[in-house]
Amino acid sequence: MSKIALVTGGSRGIGAAISVALKEAGYTVAANYAGNDEAAAKFTAETGIKTYKWSVADYDACAAGIAQVEADLGPVSVLVNNAGITRDAMFHRMTRQQWQEVMDTNLNGLFNMTHPLWTGMRDRKFGRVINISSINGQKGQAGQANYSAAKAGDLGFTKALAQEGARAGITVNAICPGYIGTEMVMAVPEKVRESIIAQIPVGRLGEATEIARCVVFLASDDAGFITGSTISANGGQFVV
């Protein structure tokens, strides 16, 4: 079985940690990114991870990008749908653009990336699809109606696709991180961050590597009987 992994948003934050952990576990890794932070992509490339720029919000770009990855590296057996954005606003102030951008990347991106790979995984009778959702898709978060809706949608997608993939040797699982100390979280004002940490029973933010290790496990043969599941990695903040 080919050990080719494709990680969306794999150039920085949680995605970079996932790319590095998969590489250390013996995978050849392609890290996709959007192009907002070329320095991060360059840094990731310097670690021996091939980087590819396209938007997961664009179906045709995904199909073309995946074709390029497979031409360069071989058939993708592990897809990590990690790319995500926030466009936070209280709902009475939320614009259609803020709603749409989050849907396009955080929910439609999963269709756009998984659909072009699905037939190949079925034909080869093996695949691992790992979707990075969020604690806020499980519990809802004020100021994030768009993000919470998209991330909850990711969980429905995971459960439905797991049923379709099971007989074809494809597992589909989700990880719901709690608050992880990436740029996305460090960008919120310090006071807000302190109040977030106060709500986490273990008393700290999570580390990106702690999410990455969950991904490596779900990608491994050891996780072959796990499909349609959600791993909540949130320091005890929300117990499902």
- Bridge partners of residue 127, in order along the sequence: 170
Residue 129 is a binding residue for ligand NDP (CB under 6 A)? no
- Of 94 and 184, nearer to ligand NDP (C-beta) is 184
Enter the tokens of residue 64.
């073309």
Which range, of 68-76, 128-136, 195-203, 215-223, touches ligand NDP by CB under 6 A?
128-136
Of 79 and 132, which has the nearer Cβ to ligand NDP?
132
Distance CA 184, CA 187 (A): 6
Binding span for ligand NDP by CB under 6 A among 63-71, 72-80, 160-168, 174-182: 174-182
11 binds ligand NDP (CB under 6 A): yes
Q: Is 57 in the site for ligand NDP (CB under 6 A)?
A: yes
Residue with tokens 């951008």: 101
What does the block give as tokens for 115? 């659909």
Amino acid code (one letter) for 138: Q
- Of 126 and 152, CB closest to ligand NDP: 152
Query: For residue 206, what are the β-bridge partners?
Result: 180
How far is it, in rounded angstroms, from Cα 46 to Cα 121?
A: 29
Shortest CB 140 distance to ligand NDP, Å? 13
Helices 13-24 & 208-219 angle (0-180, nearest 10): 50
Gap between the Cα atoms of 179 and 86, Å rounded? 14
Amino acid at 62: C
Q: Closest CB to ligand NDP among 43 and 228? A: 43
Residues labelled catalytic: 147
- How many positions of this chain bind ligand NDP (CB under 6 A)? 32
Which residues of this protein are in contact with ligand NDP, per CB under 6 A? Answer: 8-9, 11-15, 32-37, 40, 55-57, 82-85, 105, 132, 134-135, 177, 179-180, 182-185
